Structure 1
Amino acid sequence: MPNFTVPDDGQWNSKPAWKLPSWCEPLMVASILFFAMFMTRKRDFKIFRNSSGSGHLDGTSNGSMDHLLPLNIDSDWESDDITTAKNLPKARRICCWKVTTPNTSRFRNNLHSRILQRFPFLLEMFYWIINYAFYRMTSVLSSTLFAGRGIWDVSEEHGIAVLQAEEHSILKFLFLIRERDVQQWFMQGHQDALTVLNKCYALIHIPGTVGFICWYYYVAPSFNTFAIARRTMTLTNFCAFITFILYPCMPPRLLPKTYGFLDTVRHDDAQSVWMSGKFVNQLAAMPSMHFGYAFCIGMTVVYHSGLFRRTLERGEVRKNTFWKTFYLVVGVGYPVFILTTIVATANHYFMDAMVAICFVFISYLCNKVFYVFIPLEDLLLFMIRADKPIPTTGDRFHERGGRL
């Protein structure tokens, strides 16, 4: 039996936080996405008539993203992988293999193609909807896999095993602070701060991550740079999803009270709408995607500061001291704040954050694995009779002299 004082609900004296209406959070996320769609639109392109300037769709191959290939390699293409003349099939290179896929440039003047060309961020929105759908499946798949033993019992065993590993394994030197000590510190004299953290845990994760994707699509110096961050986050997601299914792990707040944790989020009535519903996976503590996202965002922001880069991208201007300091503080402070939040609210273990960091680094090194899905993307675009739009990433950035 663990040797510490077990808290009771009576120690939690703060009043329940004001609960947002159920429609508020989805509206918040949708507003961020559509605002980004508007801000990243191709301004010199008209949907219902031919337009002059770059990226026009006037019956030439310039309307397709493929014409960029001889000049640069973006997130989803490799040089010399494709032939577009006269709508010839595309020759995709995947490792040592070449795959032939339909050429969608013939559909560039279709109405929905022109809408995509006007608002290329719609494609990013589509990718993240798929990503979220995969997450919603993890609960069902994990429950099915462990139906014999019972998913709740299995996840409780795994949660206790994580605590024991932090205290007794060869890695215990990495975990000098105990999760319950962090929560107890907030509960004893700092409950107002914990109330704020409860609300932040519910509200920041999804809107903050979506907001980052929108912001970086707008300000990244090139689409290739943005796509590396996006692919890294997506691959981190899929690594986490596999772990959620194969290693369901109960968060500290759901462990038996003898382990010293209190579910302050529910006690404070601060649940997020994204944390409720039939397909929400409550037993997915390992790894912490709250922290995984935050760490990836933080490292990207630090990279964007240019502080630790000797060379800049083409057209990028060295930032002044204020902006370097600002991005450094945000890049370091955001992950630290999220780590404090997930531990103080007893939603995750420190080891969850450590595993998330490992997944981010692995995903960064292996992010080009998503190139294998390019032929599927070609086939999907062919099925819906649409052409892939030219991204606008970097357009506003270069218009402002590379200083964002």
Structure 2
Amino acid sequence: MATVLNVTEAAVAAQPNMGGAQFASHTWLEPIIVVTIMITSLTLNRRHNFRILDSNRGRSATRSLLPHDSQASSPDGSIDSDSHLSGDSDVLTSTKYPPKKRNCCGMVLRTPNSSRFADHVHSRILAKFPFLIEMFYWVLNLLFYTLTKAIAQSFFTNYDGLRELAQDHGVLILDIEHKSWLSFLFPIEERDFQAWFLNGHLTAITFLNRIYSLVHIPGTVAFLSWYYYAAPSHSTFAVVRRTMTLGNFAAFAIFTVFPTMPPRLLPKKFGFHDTVRQANAESVWVGGNYVNQLAAMPSLHFTYAFVIGCTFLYHSGLFRRTRNEPRKSIFTQTAFLVVGILYPLLVLTVIVATANHYWLDAVVAMITTSLSLLGNKVWMFLLPAEDILCWVLRVDKPAPTTGDRLLRQQGARYQPVKDEEDP
């Protein structure tokens, strides 16, 4: 009995106090937070002065953007809103709804013009709540992320072999950071960084543990929802969204070919502790079958945070003259500057102190994000596929409401940037 007690005491002594773990309520509270943010965004970004069920059909928010001469008239001069029911054989030759011309891989493709479906109920719902399109894009991102785990496993013999390779990659990253000629770039080891919080700063590590998941999905959704509302134009918003999406896919590719075990899963001899998931108190975003636990390199947490920080710095107006955007007060400029710098630093602190990522994960995330910004228009090749999908679903893609707020506030003085029609 004494021997058993001594072993137990030694185990307890070897396990430091890691502060408070995530609340068990994170499992159900965080999805509620995300849904609440989305519903709020749908409401704030709705199209004003537009009714889904309107007796004056034929003048939807989307159709009104088309040239008037593209709407064919009947012999008596009235708009023939049902002429498209005569058949779809004129989809690429119609003069009333001329086909769209899309540039794809150096070729010009003619795709169906789904504006003829603008008066369908589901089209009018989208026209009233255009933010639904952004939610659809997010769902596609999540579906592709869930595939990375299955694809990575299919590349290797078995799950045990995948874990062993991921562990070797994690150790390799530590060696590159602290045992190679690049060690001068990483003067503080991740283990020592975490130890500082565990030794006398338990309130801080408790705070970091409990916001670890909140700064990822809920925080990113909140940012995109706000930016869709606050951006000066939809084209400006789309650059950020496309950059974030391309950064996602760059990370997904690396997850597949270079699976990496996070520090918290390395053998105990490396000195890391899983402070977030104590007693299995993990959130829905960091656990579950759809989460790829061997995807430390690069950090998606920092990918999102870096995009968000750069966006705030860009709109602070302190480093450039903002074009087609109202000038901000000094207080607002300073607030944007502070958020742009501190938010990425907060996320970096969170992911390293909780042993979920290495320093190099954030460095690679900055590189992939910067490259994604330069090549974000690669997503434009999906426009033909989106046109065909809209045609199959008999739905008209709505005009976004981004920039409408400034237009209402400043009236004729505000000239929004012409938006690109992007996926």
Fold match, TM over 0.5?
yes
Cα shift readout 1:316-365 (whole Å, capped 9, x = no counterpart): 21111100000000010000000000000000000000000001100000
Corresponding position of 2:25: 20
In structure 1, the gaps of 5 or more residues are 1-5, 52-56, 69-81
Cα shift readout 1:275-329 (whole Å, capped 9, x = no counterpart): 222121000000001011001000001111111112x232x21111100000000
* Structure 2 counterpart of 1:120, from 130, 136, 142: 130
Corresponding position of 2:153: 143
* Structure 2 counterpart of 1:317, from 305, 322, 326: 326
Counterpart amino acid of 1:180? R
CA–CA distance in structure 2, aligned partners of residues 8 and 63 of structure 1: 70
Corresponding position of 1:63: 63
CA gap of 1:30–1:65, structure 2 versus 1, over 3 A, is: farther
CA–CA distance in structure 1, aligned partners of residues 290 and 33 of structure 2: 21
Do the aligned residues in 1 keep the contact of 2:21 with 2:209 (CA within 8 Å)? no
Corresponding position of 2:5: none
CA–CA distance in structure 2, aligned partners of residues 167 and 207 of structure 1: 34
CA gap of 1:15–1:212, structure 2 versus 1, over 3 A, is: closer
Between 1:41-50 and 1:336-345, the stretch displaced more is 41-50
CA gap of 1:392–1:7, structure 2 versus 1, over 3 A, is: farther
Question: Displacement of 1:8 after TM fit?
Answer: 6.2
Cα shift readout 1:343-393 (whole Å, capped 9, x = no counterpart): 000000000000000011000000000010000000110110001100000
CA gap of 1:257–1:395, structure 2 versus 1, over 3 A, is: same
Do the aligned residues in 2 keep the contact of 1:156 with 1:250 (CA within 8 Å)? yes
Alignment pair present for 1:111 and 2:121? yes
Do the aligned residues in 2 keep the contact of 1:198 with 1:270 (CA within 8 Å)? no
Question: Displacement of 1:169 after TM fit?
Answer: 2.8
CA–CA distance in structure 1, aligned partners of residues 117 and 359 of structure 2: 50
Alignment pair present for 1:279 and 2:284? no
Corresponding position of 1:92: 102
Do the aligned residues in 2 keep the contact of 1:186 with 1:193 (CA within 8 Å)? yes
Corresponding position of 1:205: 216
Alignment pair present for 1:165 and 2:170? no
* Structure 1 counterpart of 2:314, from 290, 299, 303: 303
Q: How many residues align?
A: 377
CA–CA distance in structure 1, aligned partners of residues 290 and 29 of structure 2: 20
CA gap of 1:155–1:323, structure 2 versus 1, over 3 A, is: same
Counterpart amino acid of 2:127? Q
Question: Displacement of 1:62 after TM fit?
Answer: 5.4
CA gap of 1:83–1:223, structure 2 versus 1, over 3 A, is: farther
CA–CA distance in structure 1, aligned partners of residues 55 and 237 of structure 2: 29
Corresponding position of 1:368: 377
CA gap of 1:143–1:268, structure 2 versus 1, over 3 A, is: same
SS at match of 1:355: helix
Counterpart amino acid of 1:182? F
Corresponding position of 1:329: 338
User: What is the RMSD computed on CA atoms of the aligned residues?
Assistant: 2.3
CA gap of 1:204–1:144, structure 2 versus 1, over 3 A, is: same
SS at match of 1:92: strand
Cα shift readout 1:244-281 (whole Å, capped 9, x = no counterpart): 11110000000001111011111275421112221210
Do the aligned residues in 2 keep the contact of 1:64 with 1:388 (CA within 8 Å)? no
Do the aligned residues in 2 keep the contact of 1:202 with 1:270 (CA within 8 Å)? no
Between 1:103-112 and 1:85-94, the stretch displaced more is 85-94
Alignment pair present for 1:132 and 2:142? yes
Alignment pair present for 1:38 and 2:49? no
The percent identity for this pair of structures is 48
Between Structure 1 and Structure 2, whose CA radius of gyration is higher?
2
In structure 2, the gaps of 5 or more residues are 1-10, 69-91, 415-423
SS at match of 1:359: helix
CA–CA distance in structure 1, aligned partners of residues 64 and 257 of structure 2: 41
CA gap of 1:7–1:210, structure 2 versus 1, over 3 A, is: farther
CA gap of 1:380–1:64, structure 2 versus 1, over 3 A, is: farther
SS at match of 2:15: helix
SS at match of 2:337: helix
CA gap of 1:64–1:138, structure 2 versus 1, over 3 A, is: farther
Counterpart amino acid of 1:208? G
Counterpart amino acid of 2:101? A
CA–CA distance in structure 1, aligned partners of residues 108 and 215 of structure 2: 43
Question: Displacement of 1:23 after TM fit?
Answer: 2.3
CA–CA distance in structure 2, aligned partners of residues 251 and 8 of structure 1: 24
Do the aligned residues in 1 keep the contact of 2:47 with 2:401 (CA within 8 Å)? yes
Question: Displacement of 1:14 after TM fit?
Answer: 3.3
CA–CA distance in structure 2, aligned partners of residues 392 and 41 of structure 1: 7
Corresponding position of 1:220: 231
SS at match of 2:213: helix
Counterpart amino acid of 2:293? Q
Alignment pair present for 1:196 and 2:207? yes
Do the aligned residues in 2 keep the contact of 1:155 with 1:248 (CA within 8 Å)? yes
Question: Displacement of 1:172 after TM fit?
Answer: 2.1
Corresponding position of 1:247: 258
Cα shift readout 1:49-78 (whole Å, capped 9, x = no counterpart): 056xxxxx625895266669xxxxxxxxxx
Question: Displacement of 1:44 after TM fit?
Answer: 1.2
CA–CA distance in structure 2, aligned partners of residues 298 and 371 of structure 1: 25
* Structure 2 counterpart of 1:10, from 7, 15, 37: 15
Corresponding position of 1:388: 397
CA gap of 1:214–1:269, structure 2 versus 1, over 3 A, is: same
Using the size of structure 1 for normalisation, the TM-score is 0.88
CA gap of 1:9–1:132, structure 2 versus 1, over 3 A, is: farther
Alignment pair present for 1:237 and 2:248? yes
Alignment pair present for 1:263 and 2:274? yes
Do the aligned residues in 1 keep the contact of 2:152 with 2:255 (CA within 8 Å)? yes
Corresponding position of 1:3: none
